Structure 1
Amino acid sequence: MGEHAEGRSDLELLEVEMGVLWQRDHRGRLHGAEELVLAVADDGVTAAVARTVPDDLAGDLLDRVARSTPSPPGRPPNVLKECQALLDQAMRGSSTVVGGPSYLASPSVRFGPGMPVLRSDRPGDVRRVRGLRPGNWQPGEWEELVGGGAGAPWAMIVDGGEVVSICHTPRRTAAGAEAGTWTAPSYRGRGYAAATTAVWTDLLSPHCPYLFYSTSADNRSSQRVAERLGLRRIGWLWKLTRAPGSDSSPGRGGRV
């Protein structure tokens, strides 16, 4: 088992990232839309189950995961299919599976964008972007972000009086933080996302033990950002989510 990042294995780092991305109750059960989250590293597999799943079924699922072996990168492990079948039967509906790679984004990295990157720790930069809200941000959300609330710290690139690329902090705990990136469609492919992500890591590295960057399997542009920055892939996260309109309660014939 290889060890990295202050002696933590890749699987342990994925467990930290899961704790950043998902709230859990005192039993370790998930709050949110996902019924099952599976983390797959070269050195093992682990999972978390939603609090809505009956206890005996949750125990069965976790036992199956504990006995499973890692799958090759990008391929859902066989145990995920087993868990999906059990959940669909018990919860009376269909579910969808999505997955993607996860990367360790700390310590801080460097990348030259060819143009300045604005930072949330500089008052002048904050004043500059306050009135430049992109259309995909709600006014209240934008004001909170630039004001240092939810989503901060952040790094942005401005061109032509518009914010064209952002890396912010959608999730953060005492254990770590997750990068959230966006670049205007007409500016993609220029390295702007990599540039803002590099500055984001510089902002957070002194204050946060672990920084993570994750994306979906079909988002090649986002994966290229990780490649440009030289981020180390620590594994894959697979999420099983109940389809809209499906009954979220266990059926009478289910495992309750």
Structure 2
Amino acid sequence: MGVAADGMTAAVGRDVPGALASRLLDLVAGGAPSPPGQPPEVLEQCRVLLGGTTTVSSGPCYVVPPPPVIFDAPGAVVLRSDDPAHAERVRPLRPPNWASDEWDDLLDGRDGAPWAMAVADEQVVAVCHTPRRTPDGAEAGVWTAPAFRGRGLAAATTATWAGLLPRTRLFYSTSADNHSSQRVAARLGLRAIGWLWKLTR
């Protein structure tokens, strides 16, 4: 559920039955937006409709304005998916949090492209990829190795990723308790556009 000052929107997972999905979407369409960080009234109604054990997570959402600002990546080199040689360079450097098949899908352009990665000490230390993309826009997915956080690498890879999608509406979202990710958004000068609420059964 996306909540902004001028309204709300929602998407429902494919595994939710059609009649229930319609009821959830109708609830959101008729609901009133809430201030950032404050759950909208319809959230609880949606949670009850989903039934069972439902977890709620939330966080801010930002828009990435064009043109992106390029940031330095101190002590690292940033590689891009639009250069096939870069994919081959990082192929053997798969971070432990990526499964082998997911890594190959990313590097071969089957899922998650385009991407930008920072490489230092012969390891991939930061990644910005595209976990969600539609004809209307794309969202950044960002990860930085714990030992390399706080060095500006997430901002550098995100800015490079944005440059690979010059005519696409770009979004960056994070969780409410991920303050380091929110600092990346601030460093990039991203504009907050609303708050995302996720119900997971």
TM-score (norm 2): 0.88
In 1: Cα distance, 2:131 partner to 2:23 partner: 32
Distance 1:69 1:127, change over 3 A: same
Distance 1:131 1:78, change over 3 A: same
Which of 73, 76, 85 is the equivalent residue of 1:113?
73
Report how many aligned residue pairs link the two structures: 198
Match of 1:77 in 2: 40
In 2: Cα distance, 1:233 partner to 1:133 partner: 32
User: Gaps spanning 5+ residues in structure 1: where?
Assistant: 1-37, 243-256
Q: What's the secondary structure of 2:115's corresponding residue?
A: strand
Letter in 2 for 1:221: S
In 2: Cα distance, 1:54 partner to 1:177 partner: 26
Q: Deviations over 1:155-185 (max 9, x none)?
A: 1111111111111112222222111111110
Check conservation: 1:119, 1:156, Cα contact below 8 A. Answer: yes
In 2: Cα distance, 1:42 partner to 1:237 partner: 12
Match of 1:28 in 2: none
Shift of 1:132: 1.2
Match of 1:216 in 2: 175
Q: Deviations over 1:195-219 (max 9, x none)?
A: 100000001124xx21111111111
1:231 aligns with 2:190: yes
Q: Deviations over 1:219-247 (max 9, x none)?
A: 111111111101111111111121xxxxx
In 1: Cα distance, 2:173 partner to 2:159 partner: 15
Shift of 1:65: 2.9
Q: What's the secondary structure of 1:234's corresponding residue?
A: strand
Distance 1:42 1:124, change over 3 A: same
Letter in 2 for 1:205: P
Q: Deviations over 1:55-94 (max 9, x none)?
A: 2x55554444333321111111122123323432xxxx23
Q: What's the secondary structure of 2:10's corresponding residue?
A: strand
Kindly, what percent of the aligned residue pairs are identical?
61
User: Gaps spanning 5+ residues in structure 2: where?
Assistant: none
Check conservation: 1:106, 1:205, Cα contact below 8 A. Answer: no
1:127 aligns with 2:102: no
Match of 1:172 in 2: 133
Bigger Rg over Cα: 1
In 2: Cα distance, 1:49 partner to 1:128 partner: 38
TM-score (norm 1): 0.70
Letter in 1 for 2:46: C
In 1: Cα distance, 2:84 partner to 2:18 partner: 50
